Structure 1
Amino acid sequence: MSGGGDSMALLGIATAWAKRDGRRLLAITVDHGLNPDSVDWSRQCEAAARAVGADWIECRWEGEKPTTGLPAAARRARHGLIAETARTAGAKVVLLAHTADDIAESDWMRERGATLGRLREWSPSPAWPEGRGLMLLRPMLGEGREDLRNWLRVRGRDWIEDPGNAGFGRGRARAALDPLPEGKGEGLQRDRAGAVTPHPFAQDRSPEAPGRSSPLPLGEGFQVARPINAAELAAVLLCASGTDTPPRRDRLDALTSRLASGVDFTATLSGARIEATGDHVLIGREPGELRRRPPADIRLHPGITAVWDGRYEITAHAPGWTAAAALGRLNALSRPDRAIVNTVPAWARAALPVLIRDGGNAPVLAWRQAEVRTLAPRRLSLALGETTQESDLHRAIHGETPPPDLF
């Protein structure tokens, strides 16, 4: 919660729901360190949360701030901090206070070149890998900002107005969409219909683009069928590569058109390799990118889950293991391990995780000595809107773990 009118209204609404359903409510405030009054604002947020019986945690965006692209950087940091805090607390769903006004403002900004995603009521956290398995719920997208403030006024509740918002894109959008004062002309009227459109990476699939995607063995990418729409293709690229930076729209559209043409080709985009042959397409971690920027080795600790390369969760059962890429180590694997590695395309094998024992140099496939969960299948399911309620977060996803006969 920021202490603004929208978040204060959400606090009141969520408190009533939590009490009724016997749910714990945790309020998270992120101090971006961008305003000298932010410390006082955090104290006001804490007081408001404690007053209604909610738990409260403050997160701080530490370090140097960028001189350009500050709103996007702050948004990225905010989502990451919220996701880390929510996961630590054992939460699966984060409530956000976006309104119908935010939808209108985001549309206005996109029309002028902004790359903001479209707001929808139920969506996965954009933070990766911090937000893995975490959903965002925006229950107030059908409500107007001023209506919520009137709701607060009736109840005698106050809120914070951050003057810093006016200097950025959203502040300009807000000013442009607000009607002019009475007698000063008709002005620009805000669209309060509140129609919620899906995020580009989670649009409903159409009959023309049914979205047939299946994980490769060991989760090392996906096989998809042609044709595939740009929304699903973008999601598959990010999930296969383990990255979180969406592809440029022009490059994505060009790749989508090329796939629709039916020609055979190999291409790369967003850290992923696309190999199109006949009716099917294989998409996985791009081997050239893997060599240029290899994932960092991760020291494992028993019982503590670590994320490796943004694509695998690895939990060691014993001390003394380090997770690393199979790159340059494939020939050192045992014969049984090489037989398993051979179930994936040759170009994808170097991106598999292996474990190396302290004091040794003979690698073993990570599945041999640890619990390994492939993140890409569940991430794709979330991105494509297949997870529609909180209970879906606990169901097994095809491709998360390899078939038992492989091991």
Structure 2
Amino acid sequence: MALSGGGDSLALLAMTSDWARRRGRALLALTVDHGLNSDSRDWTRRAGDQARALGADWRGLAWTGPKPTAGLPAAARQARHALIGDAAREAGARVILFAHTREDAAEADWMRARGTPIGRLRDAAPSPAWPEGRGLMLLRPLLEERRADLRGLLHARGLDWIEDPANADAHFARPRARAALKGEEPLLPQSPALDWAPPDQPLADAGVLTLPRTAPLAAFAAAVACVAGVRTTPRGRVLERLRRRLAEPADAVATLSGARLELDGGEVRVLRQMRSRDPQAVAPVPLSSGAPQVWDGRFEIESEEQGLRVAPAFGRLARLSAADRAWLSRLPVQARSAFPVLLADDDASVLAFRRARMRGLVGPRFGLWARSVGGETPHEAELAQAVHGATPWNHLF
């Protein structure tokens, strides 16, 4: 669980440690020191003391390096989720608890209505950190609770919490939301489920998703993020342009956030777009030996060999063997160029799964998204896990 040391997270720690003790479960509390306050080291130490006193394991994490002068809360949130995701996966966890309350959900709604790019809080959702949070679900068991009730629990147990002065700094959107909503009864969080079930995705392991043209716009936004391997879904005007394109009856091709959408009759095929003018995407990347490595946000690859590099097949198809070209011929044309190949020191090219353990991430990521917005929480045992090595490649054919 994420533990800031504030009242909400301390109340969640107290309740979760009781639950874990009864169930015989291990509980790891993770505290991120953002380095934004002179007292942050002391706050982190106090959080660790409280976690251990309540019977949880604890680990402190630090957001180091330069901090942005603009968009600091969003950058801090992104860094926090990435650090927590990495640490949770390393510990072998599948679920991370966050202590968001009914007031947090109301404040997020207030901020979003005024243009802040922040998502709706759900009681269960995939980690927003990518690729650090792959295969992890976030649960928010306090989303229907009020802060005042949690403070009452802490007083009853004699627990003291930290008050971050940034929570009252009107330079930031959340404190302004908190001030604007002060005294109002927070509404019960609303996370409407989509009345939509995604079709089977037989090519998801190769990085290809296919949706009906009538799928919700949010499904296309999620598919684009998953197929392009990026952290966030497209939104705003670019998504509105896609909505208008989908409403037109004609077949067409659209590109969006690194993805290619092929509108063909009643179906839309979403693939990774590889272009020579995107040198960062097509350039070979050294493959670290002995540890899983996420490439292009879409595949997890692991090999014990030294000196290998991973790259898309784009511009390298002619160097592949006849057998590899025959294998790729079963994929859509654009998907062939985006499929990963390994380059050896002699510059020989081979499909990555021939020489390494490889796992496609597009399908599992999209599946978790579809289930969460459909109101379903997967069981822990169903969540993808590759902490001690990548899952062997599941051959498509």
RMSD over aligned Cα, in angstroms?
A: 2.1
Matching residue within 102, 121, 145 for 1:143? 145
Kindly state the Cα deviation for residue 404 of structure 1 after the two structures are TM-superposed.
Answer: 3.9
Kindly state the Cα deviation for residue 57 of structure 1 after the two structures are TM-superposed.
Answer: 0.8
What's the counterpart of residue 20 of structure 2? Answer: 18
Q: Which residue identity lines up with residue 176 of structure 2 in the other structure?
A: R
Q: Which residue identity lines up with residue 114 of structure 1 in the other structure?
A: T
Normalised TM-score (structure 1): 0.89
Matching residue within 150, 170, 195 for 2:174? 170
* Distance in 2 between residues matched to 1:205 and 1:105, nearest whole Å: 23
Offset from partner CA, 1:313-347 (integer Å, 9 cap, x none): 11114334222221221100000000111112222
* Distance in 2 between residues matched to 1:213 and 1:268, nearest whole Å: 23
Call closer, same or farther: CA 1:327–1:223 in 2, change over 3 Å.
Answer: same
Call closer, same or farther: CA 1:94–1:405 in 2, change over 3 Å.
Answer: closer
Structure 1, unaligned runs of 5 or more: 180-188, 199-203
* Distance in 2 between residues matched to 1:218 and 1:133, nearest whole Å: 15
Offset from partner CA, 1:60-103 (integer Å, 9 cap, x none): 11111101000000000000000011111111111100000101
* Distance in 2 between residues matched to 1:218 and 1:157, nearest whole Å: 48
Call closer, same or farther: CA 1:98–1:217 in 2, change over 3 Å.
Answer: closer
Offset from partner CA, 1:172-213 (integer Å, 9 cap, x none): 11111112xxxxxxxxx132x423415xxxxx332xx54336
Offset from partner CA, 1:23-45 (integer Å, 9 cap, x none): 11111110000000101101110
| Conserved 8 A contact 1:61-1:77 | yes
- 1:101-250 maps to which residues of 2 (within 5 A)? 101-167=103-169, 168-179=172-183, 189-191=184-186, 193-197=187-191, 204-206=193-195, 209-212=196-199, 214-216=201-203, 218-250=205-237
What's the counterpart of residue 285 of structure 2? Answer: 298
Call closer, same or farther: CA 1:94–1:47 in 2, change over 3 Å.
Answer: same
| Conserved 8 A contact 1:133-1:393 | yes
Higher relative contact order (CA 8 A, sep 6+): 2
* Distance in 1 between residues matched to 2:304 and 2:393, nearest whole Å: 18
* Distance in 1 between residues matched to 2:282 and 2:32, nearest whole Å: 29
* Distance in 2 between residues matched to 1:68 and 1:153, nearest whole Å: 37
Kindly state the Cα deviation for residue 259 of structure 1 after the two structures are TM-superposed.
Answer: 1.4
- 1:25-36 maps to which residues of 2 (within 5 A)? 25-36=27-38
Kindly state the Cα deviation for residue 215 of structure 1 after the two structures are TM-superposed.
Answer: 4.5
1:379 aligns with 2:328: no
Call closer, same or farther: CA 1:351–1:371 in 2, change over 3 Å.
Answer: same
* Distance in 2 between residues matched to 1:326 and 1:114, nearest whole Å: 39
Offset from partner CA, 1:244-263 (integer Å, 9 cap, x none): 13212222133123213322
* Distance in 1 between residues matched to 2:282 and 2:109, nearest whole Å: 37
What's the counterpart of residue 59 of structure 2? Answer: 57
What's the counterpart of residue 182 of structure 1? Answer: none
* Distance in 1 between residues matched to 2:20 and 2:362, nearest whole Å: 32
Q: Which residue identity lines up with residue 205 of structure 1 in the other structure?
A: L
What's the counterpart of residue 273 of structure 1? Answer: 260
Identity %, equivalent residues:
49
Offset from partner CA, 1:216-269 (integer Å, 9 cap, x none): 375232122121111111110001110113212222133123213322111111
Offset from partner CA, 1:342-398 (integer Å, 9 cap, x none): 11222222211101122x1110000111111100000001111265222221599xx
Aligned partner of residue 102 in structure 1, secondary structure:
helix
What's the counterpart of residue 185 of structure 1? Answer: none
* Distance in 2 between residues matched to 1:156 and 1:284, nearest whole Å: 55
How many residues align? The count is: 385
Normalised TM-score (structure 2): 0.92
| Conserved 8 A contact 1:219-1:402 | no
